[in-house]
Structure formats: C-alpha cells, structure tokens
Amino acid sequence: MNSYQNITAFWQRTTLAFAAILLTVSCSSEHQDASVHAIENPSPEKLSTSIAPDDSSSWSRVVWIRDTGDGTDILGFQDQLILVGRDAREEGRERIILDTPRSYARPLITPTGQQVVFSVRTEQAVYVVNWDGSQPTQIAKGFGLAVWQDPATSTEWVYVGTQKTNSDPPSYRAIRRYRLDRQSKGQPVWNAQRVSADNFQLSADGRYAGGLFPWPKAGIADLKNGTWEELGEGCWTSLSNDGRNILWYFDGLHRNLTMVDPSSKQRWKVNINGAPELNGYEVYHPRWTNDPLHFVLTGPYTVGGRKNKIRGGGTQVEIFVGRFDPTLESVEQWFQITDNESPDFYPDAWVAPSNRSATDLRTRDISNQNNRDLSSLVVRARVKKDIAIPTPASIAPYQDGLLAIDYEIVEIVKGQYTEPNIVVANWVIRDKKILDDAMRHKNEIYEMTLNPFDSQPELEGQRLILDTEYLTLPLYFATRSKNNDQ
C-alpha cells in the first residue's frame, strides 16, 4: 500500500471508529466533566475498524479549541476555551488536552507531532504542551504564528509575532523564532512589513513564508532577503511545504481558495465547502497540514445572522479534513473529525511524515486554463424576496461588501442561460457606507449586464454575503444594473 493509500485508509478507519464511539457515549450525561481526558472506551467490536497502534505510516493527530461559553468565540478571545485533540493511536478517541478555560488560540501541532504550541490572547503569551497535557511551558511573549523543523538539524522552531498593532484583524510588526528544545531569547526573522496571524506558514526549507502582509494583502515573503511579493487579496493564507511553495488565499465568500503557483504565476480556484455535511454553507479556519494533500477547516456556519454567519459560531460547527487531488485542482475526499454538540474552532492537523517526495504530486495541466466561457449575459430578472442589507459593522474588518440574491428570469436579452432562476451579486457597501441603490425589493424587475463572478479578478478577497436558495447555481456579478420599475 502506498503512502497516499495509507493516509486515506487512516482517515476512513478513524472516521468510522469515531462514529461508533458516538453511539456509545450518546447515552451518557450531556454535561461531561471537563477533567475527563478521553472519551470512555466503546465496546471492542465497535473499534474493529480503528487504526492499529503500530500503523505508523498513517498515524495522525488533530487539535482544536472548544468554546465552553456561548459558542461564538471562533478565534479564542475570551477565557472560555479548552484545548481538545484526537489521536489515531488512541483509536480515534477525542481527548481534552488542557481543561482549564482560557483564551486559547491558534493551536499548532509541532513537526514531530509530540507537542502542541498555542497562544493565550489575554496573556499575550505563547506556550507549548505535551500531547498528554503535561508540562505546559511558556515560550515567549507574543502570538504563535507557525512551527517549523529545520531539515538539516531536525531542530523545531516556533515563529512568534511581536509588537502587536491595534488593527482589525490584529497584525504584528516583527517576528522572532524560538527553539522548542530549550529556553532562548529568540532570533529576529522579519520586520519588513506587518503580518496578520491567519495564516503565516513556512516553506519546507524555511526561507519563504506565505501570509497576509497585512490583511487583505496575500503574498510570499523571502525571509532571507527581507522582501515580499503580493499575489492577491483575501484571507487565511497557507503555503504548501512540498518544495513548490504554492500559496492559497481564501475568498470573501468563505467557500473557495485561490491557488497561486509563484514559479509560473498560474492561478486557479478550488471549492472547499463541498462536503455533503456542509450543505453549501460558509466554512472557516482553512489551513494546510504538514502533508501537501491534506487541509483542515471548520463548518458549516448556519446560525449567525444573514449579515455574518461566521461570527454566529454554533454547536453545529465541526472539524473536517479534506484531501486534494494530486494536482491541487479539487477536493477528492472529505473526512469529518468531530460530530458532537460542542462548538469546535481553530483546528490544526498533522500527518506522520512518510517517504513522499514533491514529485509525488502531479503537475497541473494548464493548457486549457484560459478556455473558460467568460461571455456576458444581459437579462431582465425579478427579485424573488426582500433581503436585509448587511451593515458596515457586520462585515468588519472589510470596508466593502457585496450581496448576492435570487432573481427569477423574465427575459434573456443577450447570451444563453437555461435556468429559471439566477443568483447575482451587487455592491451594497463601499468605504464603510451603504450605497443608495443597495436595496432590492421583492418583485422589482432589473435589467442587468452580468459576468461570471469568478471572471472578475477585482472581486478577489472582497466580502460577499450569499443569501440564496440556489447554492448549486453559478454566481454572477452585475457590471450594470437598472431598475425597470422606475
């Protein structure tokens, strides 16, 4: 069995085992003692599909924060979080790593998989703890941005953001790195440009880092030369550690990644809310794992207000791992890591390193990448229902926002479109102000010139609120819109 098959088999077995565990614990008290560090063992036959402890080729761990308060602390700002993890060698069982509620944020599994680095926001400090919850130790003041292992020496490092700004989201003017194996004063790494926390991630050789410099400017920094290149606008950047240094950034729709190959400058989109359990809703916290084919995220976000479902959090939010196809053009398989009544956020996942090399990943076929049909439509369409306009405060820190709503086709003036309904995005907020023509009222008819939303590069990284019943329909952007009822 090759390395890819081993990893896939791990996630399949672990997911099945976890489902069996849920059947066992569902009859217990819903208010479990947080000091219990692992879910009780289910019956042996229900664990028959779990991974064997000595199967190191597919050993894996996942860590995240759990909100014990109102379920809305998606980024760990209040003292109401605990630190939770799952280990395949523990038969896929969930365990509480640290049970004292604190403002835990950005947990990161170290490159060897033995420890977890995390930040405590209220203390502005970075800690490391063993996987079993023992020996929590402060590393430095600041915010933990990344972990990295030097391939030449095997030394593990933690990269810490310092000199925090009051920007929204927070950013850091400088980065220092600290050894995990001993106390040190740290080494300066970066101070050429402010860096946002989510996500700063290093290349395999440690020279380059993907990040936001700061949000929403996504790019790759050369840590040796102290320079960086902007490659787009978005959030939640990640960098592959497979030698190719592919950068992704997350869109304002919270459903898609834009992948950028820095060597060829080619870019492509990948949808990441396609798991059946996500039902087309927004997702959050996307992060590449140490394995170049696997990533982790949270979702679905369904309980927040129309204006910002992410901030609503909720007990329905679960942890998912996705596996890209070898070209990084799509997600070929999903694994649900949690299935409970607890709000789980901010995950990181780790897969035991194998002998996989960068050449295991196939090169993208870009020969047809520019052959998309970008022809515009001109339609007359009727607004299907009244939709509340988001407020500038609700989309913060974004300053501009679009709203996509449903229309019923009245007439195709130009182009081809076969569906009876269409989803169209319009600008509703610019420079923190609601536009005068933002509101669309039920049954009003608009004549609109439309382009596919993905054909508009200037919309990358902009906040888009999607209020539609037709999540499977293509999304359009109105380059011109006229109310025929006026």
CATH of the domain at 390: 2.40.50
3-state secondary structure of 311: helix
Q: Are residues 16 and 53 in the same domain?
A: yes
pLDDT class of 11 with cuts at 50, 70, 90:
low
pLDDT in tens, 244-295: 999 999 998 899 999 999 999 899 999 999 999 998 899 999 999 999 999 9
In a domain, 7, yes or no: yes
CATH of the domain at 55: 2.120.10.30
pLDDT at 426 > cutoff 50? yes
CA 5 remoteness from chain centre: 24
Mean pLDDT, the chain, rounded, equals 84
Whether 242 and 391 map to the same domain: the answer is no
Answer yes or no: is pLDDT of 462 > 80: yes
Structure tokens at 391: 């407020």
Q: What is the average pLDDT across 350-372?
A: 50
Of the residues 360, 391, 418, which one is the last residue of a structural domain?
360
Helix (H) or strand (E) holding 452: strand 445-452
Residue 470: pLDDT band by 50, 70, 90 thresholds?
confident
pLDDT value of residue 399 = 87
- Co-location of 138 and 199 in the same domain: yes
Q: What is the mean pLDDT of residues 336-358?
A: 83
Segment 380-405 shows an average pLDDT of 90
Q: Are residues 396 and 274 in the same domain?
A: no
How many other C-beta atoms can be found within 10 angstroms of the C-beta atom of residue 231?
21
Mean pLDDT across the stretch 339-361? Answer: 76
Taking the C-alpha atoms of residue 98 and residue 133, their distance in angstroms, rounded to an integer, is 6
Phi, psi of 342 (to 5 degrees): -115, 145
Question: In sequence order, which residues have a C-beta less than 8 Å from that of residue 83 and are 6 or more positions away?
Answer: 63, 64, 65, 66, 96, 97, 98, 104, 107, 116, 118, 129
Residue 147 predicted with pLDDT over 50:
yes
Higher pLDDT, 55 or 324: 324
pLDDT confidence of 456, banded at 50, 70, 90?
Answer: confident
Residue 364 has pLDDT above 70, yes or no: no
Query: 57, 3 in Cβ contact below 8 A?
Result: yes
* Terminal alpha carbon distance of the chain: 67
CA distance 62 to 85: 5
User: 238: alpha, beta or left, given left = phi > 0 and alpha = psi -120 to 50?
Assistant: beta
- Mean pLDDT, rounded, for 4-30: 42
Q: Which string of DSSP letters, residue by residue, matches 362-408? A: PPP--TTTT------EEEEEEE-S--PPPPHHHHTT-S-EEEEEEEE
Q: What does the pLDDT look like over 30-80, one tens digit per residue?
A: 333 332 223 232 222 222 222 223 334 467 999 999 999 999 999 999 999
Q: CA-CA distance, 256 to 239, in Å (whole number)?
A: 16
The CA-CA-CA angle for residues 135, 119, 294, to 5°, reads: 95
Burial, 79: exposed, middle or buried (Cβ in 10 Å; 0-12, 13-18, 19+)?
middle
Residue 10 pLDDT class (50, 70, 90 cuts): low
Predicted confidence at residue 467, as pLDDT, reads 86
Query: What strands lie across the sheet with 235-239, from one edge to the other?
Result: 235-239, 247-250, 256-260, 267-271
Q: Are residues 28 and 104 in the same domain?
A: yes
Residue 190 located in a structural domain: yes
Task: Round to whole Å and give the CA distance between 302 and 279.
Answer: 10
Please give the residue range of the domain that contains residue 476. 377-483
Per DSSP bridges, beta strands 401-414 and 247-250 are unpaired
Percentage of the chain modeled with pLDDT above 70: 82
The tally of domains found in the chain comes to: 2
CA pair distance 147, 116, nearest whole angstrom: 10
Strand 344-351, strand 60-67: pairing = antiparallel
The residues, ordered by sequence, that sit 6+ positions from 44 with a Cβ below 8 Å of its Cβ are: none
What percent of the chain has a predicted confidence (pLDDT) above 90? 68
Alpha-carbon radius of gyration of the chain: 23
Q: Which residue has the higher pLDDT, 316 or 388?
A: 316
Confidence of residue 396 (pLDDT cuts 50, 70, 90): confident
Q: What is the pLDDT of residue 16?
A: 46
With beta carbons less than 8 A apart as the criterion, state whether 414 and 378 touch. yes
Domain boundary among 327, 360, 393: 360
87-101, 124-138, 194-208: lowest mean pLDDT where? Answer: 87-101
Q: Is the pLDDT of residue 321 over 70?
A: yes
Residues 180 and 139 in one domain: yes
> Do both 351 and 420 map to the same domain?
no
